[in-house]
Amino acid sequence: MQSFDKPSPGQHLALVCGVMVIVFVFFLIFIGDKGISDLQIMKNERQTLLTANAELKRKNLDMYHEIERLKHDPAYIESIARQELGLIGKNEIVINMNNGSPETEKK
């Protein structure tokens, strides 16, 4: 059998230094700059950017389709003119049905 002698002061110092180095490395991995916590933050930011990018792509596609309709669909142009500008078509008459009395019309 082998008997274990008490470690010399040099071995003890080397062991303590080795443990401290290992603890320091783990500290840097988990807490330090570019560590796991920063990695998680970057993953969250990436996911947010991917979501925002997908939303922008959807909006761009919607705008592209509307532009194409405005270029090539006269009925769509007419409906937009009626809704947004309040325009009327040829041979149409606008009748304003005001429910108020003549006194309220003067005000």
Mean pLDDT, 10 residues at a time, over the chain (107 residues)?
Answer: 71 89 84 80 96 98 97 93 85 80 55
Q: Is residue 73, in this structure, part of any structural domain at all?
A: yes
**Does 30 fall in a domain?**
no
- pLDDT in the model for residue 32: 72
Number of domains in the chain: 1
Model-level pTM greater than 0.85? no
pLDDT of residue 18: 92
- Structural domain contains residue 79: yes
Per-residue confidence (pLDDT) for residue 90, from 0 to 100: 81
74 in a domain, yes or no?
yes
What is the identity of the amino acid at 52? A
Is 81 within the bounds of a domain?
Answer: yes
For residue 93, is it within any domain? no
**52 CB-near residues (< 8 Å, 6+ apart):** none
> Whole domain around residue 71: which residue ranges?
42-87
Question: Does some domain include residue 92?
Answer: no
66: in domain: yes
Q: Give dist(CA 16, CA 19) in Å, integer.
A: 5
pLDDT in the model for residue 102: 59
